[in-house]
């Protein structure tokens, strides 16, 4: 039986995304995997997800390295089916085990009918094959020189010397060839590269024990190695070409704009270029709300909502009264525009994470009490900080609430989270002198800032909504009757 490599293409992980960053491999070359086993963690512009394999068998190729951006529809992993053998033929149609980095040409991938079937499980917009699924047969390009059958068999043997589940992996064909020629068992080699990647220096250390310390340490550059002094000579940070031509300052770092940061940049730029925004703000005496929560916490310390949940409850009540701020503008191909209203409120809230600012949304927030809103805020905050939020959780909001007071600031003219039409910011609550009944007193004061799309409403509507929320904070009893 010939080896029909099954090549799994990176699927569309949701909402038509065209690329994803490979964060981490969960399997290694030579591992035996099962259907639906997670094989990689990838980060899209929306979230970080685990990608399951639709195939079972032996991993032969990992098409990419951690940190690399992969295009949707391009190979992610190649799997040799259980029980398959390497073909002994030598024609152009002979399937071979292909490794990334072996040539400058991409492998040719052709569909081939197979009896292998997947589970049919779905991951955000794609399913593993069903009973009549299609696998992939991978062969070398017709213009390339075919490797002989013995070399393919040797390569596969080396792959299978790996201990399943071990982090170490071999990607470079030069490293595998060196190991084969010197009889090195790669399954016993500890890789010094990222995620346990076995480098050339690791194999050389086995071939020539003790020589590793005698030589200057080497630095991996992919398929070859070099000494640090030669790398330093070319490093842009230390060379004469590292000076910025405009400022005359040295360039200390370059950080690619990708993943979540790339998505945020695109959304903010689009918001600024498309939305004629305006901002209104007001100072609010939050003493009554703070005292109300303190009293509730004394009687029920475990289920008392946080202040943000109370304000979220005021916001949903305000949006019911001023629904223009809970809309979206859609533009048709002919340029005609419509203001789209919604039968419900999906309240987004800004949450700071290690991956940047994320805005998950609470579905049907207008139907929830303050306690229920508090539970959802806590749950979704944990989800986004773990990098497990789905595109639906991050992209379905109709209005955003931003508590920038946690950063110790009073106000901010926020950028609207496109395609929404408004965002409400809440500053820190601090003691300030405040006039109450004609007398000066120390009160708990915060500032509310509303940025809105002037195309959907005028200043009167925006001010009416902002005043409603402010009044609710100052006199919370009536709005919170359902908590």
CATH 2.40.50.100 in the chain is located at 6-166
Bridge partners (DSSP) of residue 422 are 452
Place of tokens 């043997």: 157
| Range picked from 44-58, 63-77, 160-174 for highest mean pLDDT | 63-77
pLDDT of residue 454: 95
pLDDT of residue 216: 40
- CATH classification number, 6-166, choose in 3.40.50.2000, 2.40.50.100, 2.60.40.10, 3.40.50.300: 2.40.50.100
pLDDT of residue 346: 97
Query: In this model, does residue 46 exceed pLDDT 90?
Result: no
Handedness of CA 455, 459, 460, 466 (dihedral sign): positive
**Residue 106 confidence class, pLDDT cut points 50, 70, 90:** very low
Query: In this model, does residue 109 exceed pLDDT 90?
Result: no
Angle at 202 between CA 105 and CA 154, to 5 degrees: 55
Overall average pLDDT of the 177-191 stretch: 76
pLDDT of residue 180: 75
Give the pLDDT confidence of 365-392 residue by residue, as tens digits: 999 999 999 999 999 999 988 888 887 8
Work out the mean pLDDT of the chain and round it to a whole number. 76
What is the distance between the alpha carbons of residues 179 and 97, in angstroms, rounded to a whole number?
17
Give the pLDDT confidence of 281-332 residue by residue, as tens digits: 999 999 999 999 999 999 888 889 999 999 999 999 999 999 999 999 998 8
Show which residues are catalytic: 454
| Other CB atoms within 10 A of residue 75 CB | 22
* Percent residues over pLDDT 70 in the chain: 70
Query: In this model, does residue 213 exceed pLDDT 90?
Result: no
Angle at 81 between CA 80 and CA 82, to 5 degrees: 120
CA distances from 193 to 22, 65, 167, 196, 215 (A): 16, 11, 10, 5, 18
- Cβ neighbors of 180 (< 8 A, separation 6 or more) are 154, 155, 158
pTM over 0.75: no
What is the distance between the alpha carbons of residues 69 and 21, in angstroms, rounded to a whole number?
4
| CA within 13 Å, CB half, 452 | 24
- CATH superfamily for 260-474 is Chloramphenicol acetyltransferase-like domain (3.30.559.10)
Query: In this model, does residue 229 exceed pLDDT 50?
Result: no
- Cβ neighbors of 378 (< 8 A, separation 6 or more) are none
Q: Which residue has the higher pLDDT, 211 or 460?
A: 460
Worst-scoring range by mean pLDDT, 70-84, 256-270, 425-439, 441-455? 256-270
Give the pLDDT confidence of 243-257 residue by residue, as tens digits: 888 888 888 888 887
Give the pLDDT confidence of 1-29 residue by residue, as tens digits: 445 788 998 887 665 567 788 888 999 99
pLDDT of residue 169: 57
pLDDT of residue 196: 65
Give the pLDDT confidence of 397-409 residue by residue, as tens digits: 999 999 999 889 9
What is the distance between the alpha carbons of residues 87 and 97, in angstroms, rounded to a whole number?
10
Residue 453 near residue 275, CB atoms below 8 Å? yes
Instruction: Please confirm whether the linkage preceding 412 is cis (ω < 30° from 0).
Output: no
CATH 3.30.559.10 in the chain is located at 260-474
**Residue 194 confidence class, pLDDT cut points 50, 70, 90:** low
Overall average pLDDT of the 141-167 stretch: 46
Query: In this model, does residue 452 exceed pLDDT 80?
Result: yes
pLDDT of residue 309: 96
pLDDT of residue 78: 92
């Amino acid at each position: 039986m010939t080896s029909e490599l099954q090549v799994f293409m990176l699927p569309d992980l949701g909402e038509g995304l065209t690329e994803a960053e490979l964060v981490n491999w969960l399997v290694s070359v030579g591992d035996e995997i099962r259907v639906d086993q997670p094989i990689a963690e990838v980060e899209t512009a929306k979230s970080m997800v685990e990608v399951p394999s639709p195939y079972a068998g032996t991993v032969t190729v990992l098409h990419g390295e951690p940190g690399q951006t992969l295009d949707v529809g391009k190979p992610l992993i190649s799997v040799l089916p259980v029980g398959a053998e390497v073909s002994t033929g030598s024609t152009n149609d002979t399937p071979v085990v292909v490794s990334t980095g072996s040539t400058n040409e991409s492998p040719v991938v052709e569909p081939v009918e197979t009896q292998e079937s997947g589970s049919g499980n779905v991951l955000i917009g794609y399913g593993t094959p069903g009973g009549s699924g299609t696998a992939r047969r991978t062969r070398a390009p017709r213009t390339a020189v075919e490797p002989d059958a013995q070399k393919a068999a040797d390569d596969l043997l080396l792959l299978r010397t790996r201990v399943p589940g071990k982090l170490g992996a071999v990607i470079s064909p030069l490293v595998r060839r060196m190991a084969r020629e010197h009889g090195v068992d790669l399954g016993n080699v500890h890789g010094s590269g990222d995620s346990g990647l076995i480098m050339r220096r690791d194999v050389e250390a086995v071939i020539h024990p003790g020589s590793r310390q005698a030589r200057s340490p080497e630095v991996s550059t992919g398929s070859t190695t070099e000494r640090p002094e030669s790398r330093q000579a070319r490093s842009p940070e230390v060379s004469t070409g590292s000076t910025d031509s405009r400022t005359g300052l040295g360039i200390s770092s370059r950080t690619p704009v990708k993943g979540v940061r790339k998505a945020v940049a695109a959304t903010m730029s689009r918001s600024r270029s498309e939305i004629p925004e305006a901002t209104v703000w007001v100072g609010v005496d939050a003493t009554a709300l703070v005292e109300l929560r303190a009293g509730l916490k004394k009687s029920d310390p475990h289920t008392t909502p946080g202040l943000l949940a109370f304000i979220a409850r005021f916001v949903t009540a305000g949006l019911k009264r001023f629904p223009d701020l809970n809309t979206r503008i859609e533009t048709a191909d002919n340029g005609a525009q419509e203001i789209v209203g919604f039968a419900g409120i999906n309240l987004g809230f800004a949450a700071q994470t290690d991956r940047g600012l994320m805005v998950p949304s609470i579905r049907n927030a207008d139907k929830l009490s303050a306690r229920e809103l508090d539970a959802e805020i806590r749950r979704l905050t944990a989800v986004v900080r773990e990098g497990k939020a789905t595109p639906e959780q991050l992209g379905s909001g109709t209005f955003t609430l931003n508590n920038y007071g946690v950063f110790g600031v009073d106000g901010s003219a926020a950028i609207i989270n496109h395609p929404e039409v408004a965002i409400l910011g809440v500053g820190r609550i601090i003691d300030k002198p405040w006039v109450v009944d004609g007398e000066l007193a120390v009160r708990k004061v915060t500032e509310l800032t509303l940025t809105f799309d002037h195309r959907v409403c005028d200043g009167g509507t925006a001010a009416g909504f902002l005043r409603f929320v402010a009044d609710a904070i100052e006199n919370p009893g009536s709005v919170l009757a359902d908590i």
